[in-house]
Chains A and B, each alone.
Chain A
Amino acid sequence: MVNGNLQDSKNRGLISRILIKLRPTPKTAPYYFIGPTFILFLTFMLYPILYSFILSFQKFNAGSYEFVGLKNYFKLINDPVFRKALVNTVIYLIIQVPFMIFLSLITANFLNNKFLKYKKIFKISYFLPAVTSLVAYSLIFKLLLNTDFGFVNYILSFFSIPQIDWLNSPIAAKLSVILAITWRWTGYNMIIMLAGLQNIPKEIYEASDIDGASPIQKFFRITLPMMKPIILFCTITSTIGTFKLFDESYILTGGGPNNATITVVHYLYNNGFRYLKFGYASAMSYLLVLFIVAFSFLQFKFTGGMGDE
């Protein structure tokens, strides 16, 4: 009995000593705070990213992997669907991104007018698409773009434009995706640009008023140069976003017709999770990374990274 008690209290002493040792001190505290996050990053990001690299040199065959060298990458370069996906992405980039950035800038300029009332309501209306789930809005656009009964064709019929098969003809389907993305993201970029516009010192505009500058002159000589970093920021984030497009392709057009709207990520998904070509999908993801890292780097360089004070 006595012995047991002694053992017990010894144990208790040990446990409490360990607890005291584990109690964070000013020196050890930061590891407690950042530790869990860091472990999560290592486990669920760093490890998969490195492993993905290794996978990209392998082929998944009958439940096991074999090393195939650069074969996946060579195959990829010659894969007509992958090429198509890349071309689609580039088309979206060249047409959609500049169009949207221009639209956001113009809208932000309008909303920045002093005389405009109900600004908050306008801002909310423009921003609303940006908080909508991509799946939901893709479904809405599917309905709006319906060939026989959709609103878009109905409105166009007033201008005697014949029915357009929005989702089933190669060019119109691309246009549909562009339309949908523009609807979803213009307000988002507009809010960023509006904040930028409000940071331009009013004195500059007042001085130009005295010099008799017209609104258009003011826009090109003052607004545009002052907004350059923000326009750049929006352009680069939109570019990265375009590389990552998936939901619109998957839901709105199903990548079709005949892969006319398929995106790189959609094709990656098909390979990885439909055809179970894990190695091939990994190789694709690494080419994607290459593009995105290049653009992220540009973004980092031009916007000064995370903006340290």
Chain B
Amino acid sequence: MSKVNKTIVYLLVILGAVLSLFPFYVMITSATMESGDIFQLPPKLGFGRNLVENFIDLNENVMINRAIINSFVISVVYTFFSVLLCSMAGYALAKFNFRGKNIMFAIIMGTAMLPFQAMVVPLFNMMNKFGWINSYQAVIFPFLANIFGIFLMRQNIISFPTSVIESARIDGCGEFGIFFKVVAPSVKPAISVLSVYMFMGQWNKFMWPLIILRTRNMYTLPVTLSTLPGVSKMDYGQIMLGAFISVLPILILFLLFQDYFEKGLLGGAVKG
């Protein structure tokens, strides 16, 4: 390729990267400003001095501290149990032949293909009957069993040598022991990929928590954020700080485990 062409490619790629990152930059700088600084022409590009104040105000106005805690508790508990369940189910599908396997598989496949929106009304009524409205468990339980996770684990466990499982059995290892001590450690990378993915999915989830959580002290971060533009006296510095807080943990996870995110994404798309 000629030098001119190479330069053009570089310029375009850099332009794309700038367009991708610029909204983050505006979010972060705005989080340190007060509304008056944000709504100004020409727009301010530097940092302001209102970060701490914005946080204090945000906490006073919408209990952002509480929302952070809610989001963390829900996401961590959800991630732990969904990864556990998906791994176990994936193991059953990968390494066992049992009666009813095909029917179970068909039911899981068939229901998982349908969008969550198709079940949301009865699900809400069900939570109402359980007395689970406005509770952590209502956010966590319905989506613990995740089809993507089951497949990811199945694909990763399937190549695990069956002979190792059998010899562990002969050595007197119990069935749960085989899973937790022999199989699971060998698919640690897949478990990490899935954990990161599930955590992100739950952390960012919006519609269901919006429906099922009713009081501010139970809101997760996205739900709290969604109420911000409506709160009177709310200024955009606080809104952007809220957005930044909700993005930060995922940002850190992403920068640390970028490969996991990519693998998780490709797990559903490209084979191998």
Tell whether A and B belong to one assembly.
yes
Give Cα distance in the complex from A83 to B155, angstroms. Answer: 42
Give Cα distance in the complex from A240 to B268, angstroms. Answer: 14
Contacting pair B92 A289 (CB below 8 A): no
> How far in angstroms is the closest Cβ of chain B from A70?
18
**8 Å CB contacts to A: which residues of B13-41?**
13, 16-17, 19-24, 26-27, 30, 38-41
Given A133-B247, A136-B225, A146-B39, A25 contacting B175 (CB threshold 8 A): yes
- Of all chain B residues, the one with the shortest Cβ separation from A44 is B142
Contacting pair B174 A23 (CB below 8 A): yes
Q: Does B73 contact A (CB under 8 A)?
A: no
Contacting pair B211 A273 (CB below 8 A): yes
Q: Does B63 contact A (CB under 8 A)?
A: no
* Residues on the A chain within 8 Å of B6, using CB: 115
Q: Does B231 contact A (CB under 8 A)?
A: no
Q: Does A181 contact B (CB under 8 A)?
A: no
* Residues on the B chain within 8 Å of A44, using CB: 119, 123, 126, 141-143, 145
> How far in angstroms is the closest Cβ of chain B from A123?
8
Given A116-B10, A142-B229, A272-B120, A34 contacting B258 (CB threshold 8 A): no
Contacting pair A29 B175 (CB below 8 A): yes
Which 9 A-B pairs have CB atoms at the shortest separation, nearest pair first? A48-B119, A30-B96, A33-B92, A34-B92, A29-B175, A48-B122, A44-B142, A136-B243, A125-B17
> How far in angstroms is the closest Cβ of chain A from B105?
9
**8 Å CB contacts to A: which residues of B200-240?**
200, 203-204, 206-207, 211, 221-222, 225-226, 228-229, 236, 239-240
- Of all chain B residues, the one with the shortest Cβ separation from A51 is B122
Q: Does A220 contact B (CB under 8 A)?
A: no
Contacting pair B269 A149 (CB below 8 A): no
Contacting pair B92 A140 (CB below 8 A): no
Contacting pair A33 B179 (CB below 8 A): yes
* Residues on the B chain within 8 Å of A296, using CB: 113
Given A23-B174, A48-B123, A285-B121, A125 contacting B21 (CB threshold 8 A): yes
Which listed residue, A24, A230, A251, touches B270 by the CB 8 Å rule?
A: A230
Q: Does B117 contact A (CB under 8 A)?
A: yes
Q: Does B255 contact A (CB under 8 A)?
A: yes
5 extra interface residue pairs, beta carbon distance < 8 Å, beyond A286-B118, A289-B114:
A33-B89, A45-B142, A49-B111, A128-B21, A273-B124
* Residues on the A chain within 8 Å of B108, using CB: 37-38, 41
Give Cα distance in the complex from A181 to B115, angstroms. Answer: 19
* 22 A-B interface contacts by CB (under 8 A): A33-B89, A34-B104, A37-B86, A37-B150, A42-B107, A51-B122, A110-B13, A127-B258, A131-B200, A133-B204, A134-B206, A135-B206, A135-B226, A140-B23, A183-B23, A187-B20, A237-B269, A246-B206, A278-B121, A278-B125, A293-B113, A307-B271
- Of all chain A residues, the one with the shortest Cβ separation from B236 is A143
Contacting pair B92 A30 (CB below 8 A): yes
Q: In the complex, which of the residues B89, B114, B271 has the most CB atoms of chain A within 10 Å of its own CB atom? A: B114
* Interface-side segment among A11-19, A94-102, A190-198: A190-198
Given A37-B86, A41-B107, A115-B6, A183 contacting B19 (CB threshold 8 A): yes
Instruction: Determine the main DSSP class of B at the interface with A.
Output: helix
Give Cα distance in the complex from A259 to B20, angstroms. Answer: 29
* Residues on the A chain within 8 Å of B121, using CB: 48, 52, 55, 272, 278, 281-282, 285
- Of all chain A residues, the one with the shortest Cβ separation from B6 is A115
**8 Å CB contacts to B: which residues of A88-122?**
107, 110-111, 113, 115-116, 120-122
Q: Does B160 contact A (CB under 8 A)?
A: no
Contacting pair B145 A139 (CB below 8 A): no
**When each residue 143-157 of chain B gets 1 if its CB lies under 8 Å from chain A and 0 otherwise, what string results?**
111000011000100
* Residues on the B chain within 8 Å of A285, using CB: 115, 117-121
Contacting pair B266 A265 (CB below 8 A): no
**8 Å CB contacts to A: which residues of B74-116?**
85-86, 88-89, 91-93, 96, 98, 101, 104, 107-108, 111-115
Give Cα distance in the complex from A186 to B247, angstroms. Answer: 19
Q: Does B72 contact A (CB under 8 A)?
A: no
> How far in angstroms is the closest Cβ of chain A from B258?
6
Which listed residue, B19, B143, B174, B204, touches A24 by the CB 8 Å rule?
A: B174
* Residues on the B chain within 8 Å of A29, using CB: 92, 96, 175
Give Cα distance in the complex from A113 to B254, angstroms. Answer: 24
Give Cα distance in the complex from A134 to B150, angstroms. Answer: 25
Give Cα distance in the complex from A217 to B169, angstroms. Answer: 58
Give Cα distance in the complex from A307 to B158, angstroms. Answer: 13
Q: In the complex, which of the residues B1, B122, B169, B226 has the most CB atoms of chain A within 10 Å of its own CB atom? A: B122
* Residues on the B chain within 8 Å of A135, using CB: 204, 206, 222, 225-226, 243, 246
